[in-house]
């Protein structure tokens, strides 16, 4: 009987506590994703409208926000 209790599933006491994500990281993720989608949508809108210079500027902003998203994800780990 004692061996069966030793082989039992771990209890809540054995598990490490869940790590809470800092509020600043959560806000940064939401902001970057929102800006990324907005800049991408503007790039498509300007491309359809034939405004190439504005489309390239919006595409550059999209790339900047994409890189920023990867930087924030690395920093959050």
pLDDT in tens, the chain (77 residues): 555 555 655 565 666 667 787 888 889 999 999 999 999 999 999 999 999 999 999 999 999 999 999 999 888 77
Q: What pLDDT sits at residue 55?
A: 94
Q: What pLDDT sits at residue 25?
A: 87
Q: What pLDDT sits at residue 9?
A: 59
Is the pTM for the entire model greater than 0.85? no
Contacts 24+ apart (CB under 8 A), 32-35: 32/65, 32/68, 32/69, 32/72, 33/69, 35/61, 35/65
């Amino acid at each position: 009987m004692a061996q069966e209790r030793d082989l039992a599933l771990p209890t809540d006491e054995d598990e490490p506590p869940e790590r809470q994500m800092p509020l600043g990281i959560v806000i940064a993720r939401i902001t970057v994703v929102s800006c990324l989608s907005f800049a991408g949508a503007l790039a498509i809108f300007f491309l359809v409208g034939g405004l190439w210079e504005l489309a390239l500027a919006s595409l550059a902003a999209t790339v900047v926000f994409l890189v920023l998203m990867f930087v924030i994800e690395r920093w959050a780990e």
